[in-house]
Amino acid sequence: MNIILLGPPGAGKGTQSRRLVEERGMVQLSTGDMLREARASGSELGRKVAEVMDRGDLVTDDIVIGLIEEKLKEGAEGGFIFDGFPRTLAQAEALDELLARLGQKLDAVIELAVDDEALVDRISGRYTCAGCGEVYHDTARPTREEGVCDVCGGTEFKRRADDNPESLRQRLMEYYKKTSPLIGYYHAKGLLHRVDGMKPVGEVAAEIDRILDEAAKG
Ligand code: ADP
Ligand code: AMP
């Protein structure tokens, strides 16, 4: 089963993806994570996208489509979770084409709906484990033991350079201008499911499980 998690920055896409990877053996394809890895490695691609990402703008379609194409070729038995991709209509059309070429399809697109005010709070409180990437929040989801990752026991944590109010404003603009039209695109294909992302993590997860179990029935 291949699914897209669609929603603004901070909606909970990464949090829910990690759980689906753990529980359903799916493979998470986060273009944001891939681009941050490229930056960390100091590659030419990483240098090219750094400024654009820090500003909160989208990188060009051909870059992210190329990244996704490479990963799709590797295959995934449990299916793919597209997290933060596609973000434009051109990316959505390219994904349709890539999947069709591989004899695959999308089974569901899950829109995580979250109010803008809540996004500001989520983004400003977000931190991740530097070791395993587990996603935490200062108040909504802190580590059980202060300074120690619940999952891997790591003691180093990171905050994203673009998780500041100025970049967030720009990222939200980009989302509403370029990404939110995808809601209509997938609705027209009969694939869209809207989930109330304001609910606690566990309730959002239960709702996603219900949708995926239903979609699996065919
Ligand atoms: P995205 O991948 O969509 O940008 P994340 O999964 O990284 O979003 O979540 C953003 C922040 O919000 C993180 O700090 C995370 O711990 C927190 N968060 C995620 N889901 C919820 C939720 N349902 N309720 C409250 N906080 C949440
Ligand atoms: P994310 O981790 O999904 O919040 O993405 C962080 C940043 O990476 C975005 O603000 C963009 O600059 C860039 N990015 C990630 N995915 C895409 C995409 N599909 N298209 C264009 N830019 C992207």
Measure 10 CA to ligand 1 centroid, in angstroms.
Answer: 5
* Strand, helix or coil for residue 197: coil
**Catalytic center residues:** 13, 87, 126, 160, 171
Nearest ligand to the CA atom of 14: 1
Q: Which positions ≥6 away from 17 have C-beta within 8 Å?
A: 5, 28, 30, 81, 83
Tokens read off for 197: 């992302």
61: left (phi over 0), alpha (psi -120 to 50) or beta: alpha
Q: Is the CB of 85 under 6 A from ligand 2?
A: yes
User: Which pLDDT value is given to residue 80?
Assistant: 98
Tokens read off for 172: 């939200």
Measure 13 CA to ligand 1 centroid, in angstroms.
Answer: 7
Rg (CA), the chain: 17
State if pTM tops 0.95: yes
User: Which pLDDT value is given to residue 218?
Assistant: 73
User: Which pLDDT value is given to residue 7?
Assistant: 98
User: Which pLDDT value is given to residue 140?
Assistant: 94
User: Which pLDDT value is given to residue 184?
Assistant: 98
Distances (CA, A) of 94 to 99, 142, 153: 9, 38, 40
Q: In which element (H, E) is residue 209 found?
A: helix 201-216
User: Which pLDDT value is given to residue 148?
Assistant: 98
Q: In which element (H, E) is residue 215 found?
A: helix 201-216
User: Which pLDDT value is given to residue 188?
Assistant: 98
User: Which pLDDT value is given to residue 207?
Assistant: 98
Residues of the chain with pLDDT under 70: none
Question: Nearest residue CA, atom 12 of ligand 2?
Answer: 53
